[in-house]
Chains A and B, each alone.
Chain A
C-alpha cells in the first residue's frame, strides 16, 4: 500500500448517487454525513450508489453511468437488488449501516483487496465511421453528417429571429444531479437555449427536496445543506438567504404557472416552509410551455421549483415527440459521456 493510498483513505468517500424508484427517504440527506461527499459527476466518484429500484427501461442508462466512473470503482445497491450485469456489487439492506459499508468498500478498493469493476458495455462507437468528406469530415461542406452513425449538429433557424445556429438534440437524464430523479428529456439546444423538449421518462414519484435543489442551482450549496438539516436555526438561515440576494437573482415571472406563482414565489415557499409545499395548479401546462426559450440555468430552476407530483402532471401534459426528431437516442452512448444518462 502506497503512501498515496494512505492519504486518500483519510478523505471523505466520493459517492455518486443514482436514485431509482422508491429510493429511501434518507437519500437526499446523505450529503449531511461528513464522511461522504456526494459528487455531481460520476467522473469524480469512487462508488456508484444505486438507491432504490431502477426500472427496466432505465437499466441501460445505469450501465452507461457505471462505465463512466474512473477505476478503481465499485457499485453499492441500497435497498434494491443488483442488476444482472452487476451481480458482484455490494448490496445494503434496510437495517444495515450504509455509511460504514460505503467506507469499507472504498477502503478495500484502495487496499487492493477488492478488485475494480470492469466495463459493462463495449468501449467503442455504436457504429462504424461513415464520414463522407475527403478530409474525413462527417457530412456535406464542413459539418453535419452522421459519423459513427450519430447525426451531428446541423444549423437550424432559431425560433426567435431565424438566426441560423447549430441545433443539438440529445437525451438528458435520468441521473443528472440537477434533474429531478428519473426524469429523461429529449432536448434540442441552440447554445444553451432550449428549442424543443420531449419527455422520454417522467420523474419518479418519491419526494426530493426542491428547496435544497434550487439553492444548489443558485450556487449556494452550503445553504442547501442547512435547509436539509432542518429548520432548527431559523432566523440565522433566513438572514443568510436574504443577504445572498436570491430574490434578485431569480428573474421575476420565470416559470409562471397558471395560478400565477413563479419560481421566485415557489422558492420562497419551499425555503420558508419546506414541510408542506402547497400545490401548484398545472392543468394544461406542458414542459414545452415552461421550458422553451429559456436558457439552461433558468430551465433547471423551473424544473426544480415544482414538487414531484406537479412535475409528473406537467410531464403527462407534454405532447410526445415525433419519432424523427428523436435522433439524440443514438448519441448518448458510453463514450460520449456528457449526458450522464
Chain B
C-alpha cells in the first residue's frame, strides 16, 4: 500500500468510525433506558443542530487555547489511529517507536482536556479540568505498564512488530490482565462513563459546559474520534490487529475495532462513576499493582 492510499484509508476509517460510534452510543443509551431504536442519520441531525446555533463565548476566555484544545484533541486521535498498521508493514506513521508515540498522545490528551476546561474562564469547567488531571495521570501510568508488557513478547516498540508477534497467540490470551486495564484507559481518554471526570453530569457538562454551536459539535466529534483511535490501538495491541483468515487485513482490523468500541461504550453506560477521591484510591492501591503484576508476568514469560 502506498502512503497516499494508507492516508485515504485512515481518513475513511476515522470518519466511518465516528459515525458508527455515535450510533452505537445512542443505541446503547436507548436500549438501557428502554426506548425505541435510533435513526442511522441521527448523528448528522445532531451535528447540524449544533452548527445551526451561535458559537458563544464567555468573559475574558483564553480563546486561542480553547480552539487549540478542540482541534488538538481531534488531531491526537488521528495520530493515534495513524500508528495503527492496516496491514503488514503498512501504517501511516511507521516508525520504530510507535508505541512511545501513542504514549505521548495519551499524555497530550491530559494537557488538552485540561486546557479545554481552563480556557472558558468558568468555575465548573475548571473543576472538571483539575479533576481530569488528577485521574488522567495515574491512569496513564497504568497504560504504560500494560503497553510495555505487550511490547515484551515482540521485543520491539513498533506496533507493527507487536501485531506480527501475535501471529500464533493473541496478547489478550497471553496477557489476560492487559486488555481490561487498557479498556479503563480508553474510558478515561474518551471521557466516558465511570472515568468521565472532565465532562460529567455533576458539573453540568464539566469542561464542555460553556461550549455552544460549532465548538460543542467539534468537541463531541473529537471525543468519538478518540474512541475510534483508541479502539484501533487496543485491537492491534491485544486482538492481533489485521491478523485473521480469509478476509483482508483491514476488514479484520475494522471488525475488532468495532467490537472494542462497543465494549467501551457498553461499559460507559453500565458502570457507575465513583467520587474522585475514591477512584484515586482504587487506581493507586489496586489497579496500579495489578498493572505491575501484568508487566512482571510478561517479563517472566519473556525470560522463560
Contact = CB atoms under 8 A, between A and B. Distances in A.
B48 A298 contact: no
Given A4-B52, A71-B53, A219 B59 contact: no
Interface in A145-204: 168, 170, 176-178, 189, 191-192
Interface string B189-216: 0000110100011111100111111001
Interface string A222-247: 11011001000100000010011110
B46 A339 contact: no
B269 A70 contact: no
A296 B52 contact: no
B32 A240 contact: yes
A250 interface: yes
A229 B48 CA distance: 29
A178 B52 contact: no
Contacts of A226: 32-34
Contacts of B44: 7
Contacts of A244: 270-272
Interface stretch (B118-126, B223-231, B293-301): B118-126
A249 B270 contact: no
Given A70-B213, A244-B270, A296 B203 contact: yes
B122 A40 contact: no
B130 to A, nearest CB: 6
Contacts of B16: none
Contacts of B48: 4-5, 7-8, 10-11
B104 interface: no
A41 interface: yes
Interface centre among B29, B51, B52, B216 (most CB of A within 10 A): B52
B2 interface: no
Given A41-B205, A297-B200, A110 B272 contact: no
Contacts of A233: 34
Interface residues of A, number: 60
A192 B193 contact: no
Given A7-B48, A218-B272, A240-B270, A300 B32 contact: no
B273 A249 contact: yes
B209 A251 contact: no
A192 B279 CA distance: 15
Given A46-B53, A297-B276, A216 B201 contact: yes
A249 B210 contact: no
B63 to A, nearest CB: 14
Given A44-B212, A192-B127, A339-B123, A222 B29 contact: yes
A72 interface: yes
A70 B210 CA distance: 11
B52 A110 contact: yes
A271 to B, nearest CB: 12
Interface string A1-17: 00011011011001000
Contacts of B204: 40-41, 176-178, 340
Given A4-B51, A34-B35, A178-B204, 14 more contacts: A10-B45, A11-B48, A41-B209, A43-B212, A44-B211, A68-B56, A219-B200, A222-B30, A249-B272, A297-B273, A301-B202, A335-B58, A336-B122, A337-B210
Interface of B: 28-30, 32-36, 39, 41-42, 44-56, 58-60, 120-127, 130-131, 193-194, 196, 200-205, 208-213, 216, 268-278
18 contacts: A41-B204, A43-B212, A70-B56, A70-B212, A168-B123, A191-B127, A192-B127, A192-B131, A219-B193, A219-B268, A219-B272, A221-B201, A222-B30, A240-B270, A251-B278, A295-B276, A301-B275, A336-B59
Q: Which 9 A-B pairs have the closest CB atoms?
A: A338-B122, A335-B59, A7-B48, A219-B273, A225-B33, A222-B32, A11-B49, A249-B274, A43-B212
Interface of A: 4-5, 7-8, 10-11, 14, 34, 40-41, 43-44, 46, 68, 70-72, 110, 125, 168, 170, 176-178, 189, 191-192, 216-223, 225-226, 229, 233, 240, 243-246, 248-251, 295-298, 300-301, 335-340
